[in-house]
Amino acid sequence: MNSPTNKTKFINIKVLDQDQPCEASTLHQSELPYVHYPKPLTFRREECACNPVRYFAILSMQRSGSGWFETLLNSHMNVTSNGEIFSVRDRRLNITSILKTMDRVYNLDWFTSASKNECSAAVGFKWMLNQGVMEHHEEIEKYFKEKGVAAIFLFRRNLLRRMISVLANSYDKDAKLLNGTHKSHVHSPLEAKILAKYKPKINATLLIPELKQADETSAKAIKYFNTTHHIVLYYEDVINNRTKLRDLQEFLRLPYRELKSRQVKIHTAPLSNQVDNWEDVQKALSGTSYETYLHADY
């Protein structure tokens, strides 16, 4: 029995959705800002109308494992993550278009191949930091707080590996190594092997400034949204410690599921075998705060 001085509060709520009464449910008071009962304009949630939905946004940078991470999330039967919706420039022209787009997503009126529609328990999308989120961070932070959107930060610890992946992916956009088709992510070891053959040449002069810029950008993003409901994850940690996926599901208050992805990792060889001018890279990073990147492997 709770002590009379215990300040923990649970609130009974009764929700009407599309004129259908929902049975009363009990929620911890601290959970209320993050629980929603959307009323889509494009379909009826039917028997799932009374199932609460949580909102999230995956904030990341290109080639940080966010595509793989999102396929893991979407393997959950109750999660809808709608991809990189702000890669389309018109959707991020100004803060008005950004907010309107998010409203559609969180009202369940945004349809992709990942959509679970009626019975989504968590809905969101993937947002790269260079797609308007940093420029409009004040308005977006306010929106996240008002709407109860959970920010999921996903970054890479080894920014050198990320740089190699960025350069290789950029090369393949023109070279189209897989039978004349560009693929940012692959689903077979053979495709991964073909793409991994390319070894980019890194500009050693610009290496440290570019690593520093990426480091500062991720730190700035966390600072901008530090007062929102958020979790910070790193790609390497998720790979090496699958309890991180359990932590994520607990963060979103989802029923636990074993999450799976069909994506195959492209770059698995030691770093020294992935760069054309490895000696230049070693010389540039040796003795600096980024030297650990040379030795960190999976």
H or E element, residue 191? helix 189-196
Rg (CA), the chain: 21
Helix (H, G, I), strand (E, B) or coil at 37: coil
pLDDT by residue for the chain (298 residues), tens digit each?
Answer: 444 444 444 333 334 334 445 554 556 667 777 899 999 999 998 888 888 999 999 999 999 999 999 999 999 999 999 999 999 999 999 999 999 999 999 999 999 888 886 789 999 999 999 999 999 999 999 999 999 999 999 999 999 999 999 999 999 999 999 999 999 999 999 999 999 999 999 999 999 999 999 999 999 999 999 999 999 999 999 999 889 999 999 999 999 999 999 999 999 999 999 999 999 999 999 999 999 999 876 5
Residue 40 backbone phi and psi in degrees, to 5: -60, 150
3-state helix, strand, coil in the chain (%, to 5): 45, 15, 40
Q: Are strands 230-234 and 149-155 parallel, antiparallel or unpaired?
A: parallel
Polymer length in residues for the chain = 298
Q: How many CB atoms lie within 10 A of CB 226?
A: 11
pTM to 2 decimals? 0.89
The answer to whether the CB of 13 falls within 8 A of the CB of 24 is yes
CATH class label, 10-294: alpha beta
Say which residues have a Cβ less than 8 Å from residue 106's Cβ, sequence separation at least 6.
36, 38, 55, 123, 147, 149
The answer to whether the CB of 253 falls within 8 A of the CB of 54 is yes
Q: What's the maximum distance between 2 C-alpha atoms anywhere in the chain?
A: 70
The answer to whether the CB of 130 falls within 8 A of the CB of 265 is no
